[in-house]
Amino acid sequence: AKIKEVDFVKSSNRPKDCPKDDRPEFAMLGRSNVGKSSLINFLVRKRDVALTSKKPGKTQLINHFLVNKSWYIVDLPGYGFANAPESARMDWSSFTKGYFMNRESLVSVLLLIDASVPPQKIDLDCANWLGRNNIPMTFVFTKCDKMKGGKGRRPDDNIRDFQELIRQIYWQHPPWIMTSSVTGLGRDELLLHMSQLRNY
């Protein structure tokens, strides 16, 4: 499961401009600012392979990264960010149809969920949509380092509540992994999970 090299391949603004779908592929999906680009850097252990920002709306194109010359990680723009400039905003309905439904090589969507906030309707809707369309998904809870030991709600509470709500709308229990790109939590587990799915 070791990552030896990672190469940026291209940015595409439409699914049909993406590289040929001839290699296993994982797509980062989730709300703006949830940590999709950070998770890529965390997995490949490089600071700036994917560009990140404190401000939501940083990633605006479909970015393909080739790992070990054999499989792709795809960084996507986030959803749920209303303030992106109209010109830069992705048309999600055509995007979802064009990419998620037709990408033969898509092994799993990594659906990123911010563990530092209570369950968000938009994430539940997204999981529901993927489930109804039989698109395999893995829940990747991000920012698990936040609020550790503090008073009030903790990441564990938010994750438990999210799973409970998923059980009410979806008959499957997608695999799930807790991560933090700050502490390194979950890196080995996620890499192993991805390698098992690739070889399946």
CB neighbour list of residue 132: distance below 8 Å, 6 or more residues apart: none
Give, as one character, the DSSP assignment of residue 16: G
**Residue 35 binding partner per list Mg ion, ligand GTP, none, with a CB distance cut-off of 5 to 8 Å that depends on partner kind:** ligand GTP
Please identify, using beta-carbon distances, which residue of 129 and 169 lies nearer to ligand GTP: 129
Q: Strand 6-12 vs strand 25-30: parallel, antiparallel, or unpaired?
A: unpaired
Distance in Å, CB of 82 to ligand GTP, minimum: 12
Q: Which tokens go with 4?
A: 């030896």
Distance in Å, CB of 171 to ligand GTP, minimum: 28
Q: Which one of 39-47, 56-64, 88-96, 188-196 is the stretch in contact with Mg ion (CB under 5 A)? A: 56-64
Rounded to whole angstroms, the Cα distance separating 109 from 66 reads: 16
The pattern of x and - marking residues 6 through 45 that bind Mg ion according to CB under 5 A reads ------------------------------xx--------
3-class SS of residue 175: coil
Give me the residue label for tokens 């799915």. 197
Please identify, using beta-carbon distances, which residue of 80 and 98 lies nearer to ligand GTP: 80
Do residues 15 and 90 lie in contact, with contact meaning Cβ atoms separated by under 8 Å?
Answer: no
Q: Which one of 6-14, 18-26, 30-38, 168-176 is the stretch in contact with ligand GTP (CB under 6 A)? A: 30-38
**R_g over Cα of the chain:** 16
- When asked if residue 143 is in the footprint of Mg ion (CB under 5 A), the reply is no
- When asked if residue 53 is in the footprint of ligand GTP (CB under 6 A), the reply is yes
- When asked if residue 108 is in the footprint of ligand GTP (CB under 6 A), the reply is no
Tell me the sheet residues that pair with 138.
110
- When asked if residue 89 is in the footprint of ligand GTP (CB under 6 A), the reply is no
Residue 129, amino acid: W
- When asked if residue 58 is in the footprint of Mg ion (CB under 5 A), the reply is yes
Give, as one character, the DSSP assignment of residue 5: -
3-class SS of residue 4: coil
Can you give the binding site for Mg ion, defined by CB under 5 A?
36-37, 58-59
Can you give the binding site for ligand GTP, defined by CB under 6 A?
30, 32-38, 52-54, 56-59, 77-78, 142-143, 145-146, 180-182
